[in-house]
Chain A
Amino acid sequence: MNTFDVIVIGGGHAGIEASVASAKMGCKTALFSMNIHTIGRLSCNPSIGGSAKGHLAKEIDALGGVMGILADKSGLQFKTLNTSKGPAIWSSRSQNDKDLYPLFAQELLLSTKNLSVVNSNIREILIDKDSIKGVITENGETVFSKCVVLCSGTFLNGVLYTGMNGIAGGRIDEQSSTSISRNLLSYGFKTGRLKTGTPPRIDRNSINFSMLSEVGGDVVPKPFSFRTSTVRNTLTCHQTTTTEKTHNILRKGFSESPMFSGLIAGKGPRYCPSIEDKIERFSDKNSHQILLEREGLTTDSVYVNGFSTSLPRAIQEEGLHSIVGLEKCEILKYGYAVEYDYFFPNQLKSSLETKAIQGLFFAGQINGTSGYEEAASQGLIAGINAALTVKDMPAFTLSRAEAYIGVMIDDLINKESEEPYRIFTSLAEYRLLLRQDNAYKRLSKYGFNFGLIDNNQYEVLQHKENLTGQLISFAQESKASPATINEYLTDIGESKLAETTSLSIIAKRQKVSLKELFSIVNTHDSFPATNELFEKAEIEIKYEGYIKRQLEEVEMFQQTESKLIPKNLDYSSIKSLSAEAREKLIKISPVSLGQASRIAGVSSTDLAVLMLYIR
Chain B
Amino acid sequence: MSSSNTVCALATPPGISGLAVIRLSGEESFSIADKCFRGKVLLSEAPSHTIHYGKIYDGDVLLDTVTASIFRAPHSYTGENIVEIGCHGGLYTTSNIISTLLNNGAQIAKPGEFTQRAFLNGKLDLTQVEAVADIIHASSVQGSHVAARQLLGGFKNKVDSIRKELLSICALLELELDFSHEDIEFVDKNHLTTLIGNSINTCKNILDSYTSSSILRDGYRVGLVGYPNAGKSTLFNALLDKKRSIVSPIAGTTRDYIEDSLSLNGIWIQIYDTAGIRQDSMDIIEIEGIEFTRQLLETSNLILIVNDISISPLHSVSLYKQLSLLYPEAAFCYIQNKIDSVSQSLVSISDIDSLPVSSLQSIGIKELKIFIEKLASANVDRISDVLLNTRHTAILSEIIKSLENANCSLNIHFSNEYVSLDVRKAIYLLGEITGEVMNEEILNTIFSQFCIGK
Contacts and interface: CB of A to CB of B under 8 A. Distances in A.
Does B bind A?
yes
Contact of A85 (B116, B415, B435, B437): B415
B15 interface: no
A426 B423 CA distance: 13
A140 interface: no
A429 B424 contact: yes
Nearest to B437: A604
Interface string A81-111: 1101110110100000000000000000000
Contact of A560 (B122, B125, B177, B439): B439
Interface residues of A, number: 41
A271 B181 CA distance: 13
A472 B21 CA distance: 68
A563 B440 CA distance: 10
B433 to A, nearest CB: 12
Contact of B416 (A85, A556, A575, A604): A85
B119 interface: yes
Contact of A84 (B116, B183, B424, B443): B183
B1 A553 contact: no
A432 B417 contact: yes
B438 interface: yes
Given A51-B178, A424-B178, A608 B417 contact: no
Given A546-B421, A609-B120, 17 more contacts: A51-B178, A51-B181, A81-B180, A84-B415, A85-B177, A85-B416, A85-B417, A424-B178, A426-B177, A543-B418, A556-B439, A605-B120, A607-B438, A612-B1, A613-B1, A613-B2, A615-B1
A51 B2 CA distance: 48
Contact of B413 (A510, A607, A613): A510
A426 B174 contact: yes
Nearest to B432: A604
Interface string A544-555: 001001100100
Interface string B400-443: 00000100010011111110011011000001000111111001
A195 interface: no
Interface of A: 50-51, 81-82, 84-86, 88-89, 91, 271, 289, 424-426, 429, 431-432, 510, 543, 546, 549-550, 553, 556, 559-560, 563, 575-576, 578, 597, 604-605, 607-609, 611-613, 615
A605 B122 contact: yes
Interface of B: 1-4, 116, 119-122, 125-126, 174, 177-178, 180-183, 405, 409, 412-418, 421-422, 424-425, 431, 435-440, 443
A510 B414 CA distance: 7
Contacts of A556: 439
A404 to B, nearest CB: 14
Contacts of B435: 604-605, 608
Contacts of A431: 417
Binding site of B, secondary structure by majority: helix, strand, loop or mixed?
helix
Contacts of B125: 605
Contacts of A613: 1-2
B425 A553 contact: yes
Nearest to B402: A549
B321 to A, nearest CB: 39
A431 B415 CA distance: 13
A50 B181 contact: yes
Contacts of B126: 604, 608
B169 to A, nearest CB: 13
A576 B178 contact: no
A608 B443 contact: yes
A549 B422 contact: yes
B417 A549 contact: no
Contact of B443 (A81, A89, A612): A612
B177 A89 contact: yes
B119 A608 contact: yes
A575 B73 CA distance: 13
Contact of B180 (A85, A576, A612): A85
Contacts of B122: 576, 578, 605
B121 A425 contact: no
A86 B413 CA distance: 10
Contacts of B116: 612
B61 to A, nearest CB: 36
18 contacts: A82-B180, A85-B180, A86-B418, A91-B181, A424-B178, A425-B178, A426-B177, A429-B424, A432-B418, A559-B439, A576-B121, A604-B435, A604-B438, A605-B438, A608-B443, A609-B120, A612-B120, A612-B443
